[in-house]
Structure 1
């Protein structure tokens, strides 16, 4: 029996029942060194009395209870102890002091062992193999196992590879457990285009050491784990919410699927389909109809509009307000204080654990590694991280004085609101109970300079006294681009002024992937920028023709003639439609008015009023 999982040009694995050689933490931090990582956490510890539950449960319990991370844990089949590795001798002593702690009805015992086995890779380095030699060996091994025509990485039976054995990768449990971590890091560095991976016959009893594979190859489609020692379906939780494009999985020869009870087999299938949302084929069996699955995973609605206004009345107010606000935020934050009153509130938070958008992960790998939130951490009011009531209260700025102090503790920025309008999205809604409007702006900004008020930032809230200050004085925080969501509730003030009642700023890692952009539409946005535009970018929120105030025959932005649309940006189209609606001019005169007014809506209205008496009848819609 054989099959090819990737039909129709998808790539795939070949599975033959008895063929073991079938052709089948964040490691993006800058300066990651494969050999250094292998040498980390090299102090061994043995754990007994754990078998009242699973090994994973035991390791998690130890981390929660004893506050010590046990890495690269494996079960020694000869002693039935868990052999794990901790960072240093202090962690060993801490665990020894916890011997006897109750876990799953038994008493855990921690045993210090002689690290006589050493680290084989370290020993090999002392014999003349440098770090570069180790990385080069892994690179050559990967290239020898890579089949570019099939986009297949064959990692079956790696323990029997002579070049790896000579380097001592499998001489001890420590080096064995860290091998795949280092290998996947190197694979990511050399940018292999991989859709299928064969990991058969590698004596794998759990998948913890392969967790980095989901980051290195997030769009992996086919995976073979044939003839390993996987006996628990829970092992696959390592890949939950990660390998979201996995289509085909081979588990033949693993205890987890070698069961006789049909109900157990169905439970395994169900759990795997939950873990891998696009899984179609398991051990050659089709689990679900692929086209129906694709339809279910396809967003059933049209692409959402990047700009939304609840009604026409607040459109002009919101666009002018947000444009001027962002301009002052970038150039003169003191000038914003006229918008804040004694009851106004401001808070910000960072979200460093944003959803794992796969394209974003690739962008981070290929661009600057990691995102430094050092300037934001002292002020962040992320309620999932800040549990102290006092800290939560202290991280809300109230009144102009406190709010401005917080503004000066945030980096200086530059937004491309006019030059690059497609980087932004905005929604504007009414809040009738408050006679207010709520404006939410999404997009990105570039940090251009450190905060003005570093002294206040260094002594700011958060952590033991002095800890944050020491951190910021001794570490230069890297400036970078970041994405954000900002929500402002604005209420009317005296004499037509506006007051910001609440201001919420969320800062997150930069993402080039915009939810409001249509990746298939490559011609709708001209590349030319709009000069002297006072309204913010808007290429939606078009007035609907059926509304009473729209004259018959007046086009919406979608109905503008193609020759007009091809020569105008979305912003210009929006301004044109508004002018046509307000003035009742026909297209020819409407375009003329906009061009003479530099596509500034306010200037258009002024020029129209100044010249309305001299306009001929044919200038209007008949």
Structure 2
């Protein structure tokens, strides 16, 4: 689908920046951390939760040549500014920074002399490349700030360009350094020194007694200042992922890492959101204690990247952040996100028993409860569902113009013969209003005549809004606070009509099926009158002012039948929209093997090899299904047989494709 919607402004960028300073991003969307010399540092530390962590001992780690190679491979692939000119990196690009050129006579040109400087560098470098006189090519260049030129050159050409450090260009002496801070004459490997520097930061900040990794006030760390990590946009945005990779590779197993680190402090870093540090959740998913105090989080949305990420989080500290004043009830969100959260800002918000069970009797499950399938993308379907039912209860005319266009269809049917709630001892009369309910009901079992059927079909926002106005006012249960009253399913729907007409075969949309309940209200007093159950199905696609349009909407209203049929047997929240797909895949795989074709309501989570997270497995299942056309169950089985190696799974599929039964593929 196109036009997926957008998040709140300001939620997509962020980093560790100086307090009260405005965050700036480069053209790639990475946060710019200006140097301490220009902006006074990154928030001077005013204390942290981990006193003494600077003196902490070393954590258990693997210190071998193979470990070094793995770390260097990660750094090379994620941060070109940390590369050097070792022969093993021949052909790879490394970034160098040049200053002093703005004082040259060439700086008066339109491009401030950048073109002339690059031509001069290439010519001089070729002359200094020895008898071979091999040409030297500067692949990329960009200007940062007022006086810094960043160039990208092949690693094998770095030494010859560094030898021109201090040369005169158009009357001005220039200075050439690696972005990592090394100038000509430096000794040792740039990669190795960078890795050792990051390891030193981790070792000094780890306290083995308290199992605390203190990453507070990173801008004041002397090693990071000396390495000029925050002087360049490229190193700034890649710093934390590289730090987490170095941390991850110091442990032989995930269990060893989990036992060694139970607490992390990110206090005093002036983080406006989590985009700069989001990899912490992948590196330490079993974290028990997290300190986010003294930052710049303005609301829970700025923390949404870690929504339900730390499933074993026991204690969260969020004091001295703007959200305390802007969103006083923020604790409710954290209760939904973290099922085992027991302490918030040192205050107990769940009993020990509730935390052990992973939920609280006073806190409802988050939307949506696990269902057989909920395939979403970018929270398009979830946002639509939340918005739709709120609007249907509050402002139906506006809702109709928001999601319905001239080709949108709506109909509703009243099922007067539906079973009642089996748990109810009383049987209240249904009392269907002939004008509001029956006259426009399109119950095809009772309406046989074609003209009658046609008049009960409504197309376009005006017709939809008019028929909605004839239905009684309603109030649906809150999707977040009363999730047990809902059953929501969603799956991808190909071939949805393209409103632009550019795709004759249609575009991808979603088929959403919802079962739930609502209460009808008196039009004047707004008092509750009747409790009903309903079934509603939507086909949505791209279009409309919000980027989402309703193609078809069918509503069935019936007497209240209870929620026993779709209430889960085990209380387990829906973690991510992809999680349901993966768990359904596990059940589908079991069904395919047994021939039953029945998906278990609570399928087991597949066993994954070390290094493969559940999120990564879910994405691999979906991608294999997409590329091969197989069902989810067969895609999962294929990945399991090759140890969850994606490319191997595709190869295995091609090898056995001719022998697969028809049921292995999604039926068109």
TM-score, reference length from structure 1: 0.36
TM-score for the superposition, normalised by structure 2: 0.33
Which of structures 1 and 2 has the larger relative contact order (alpha carbons within 8 angstroms, sep 6+)?
2
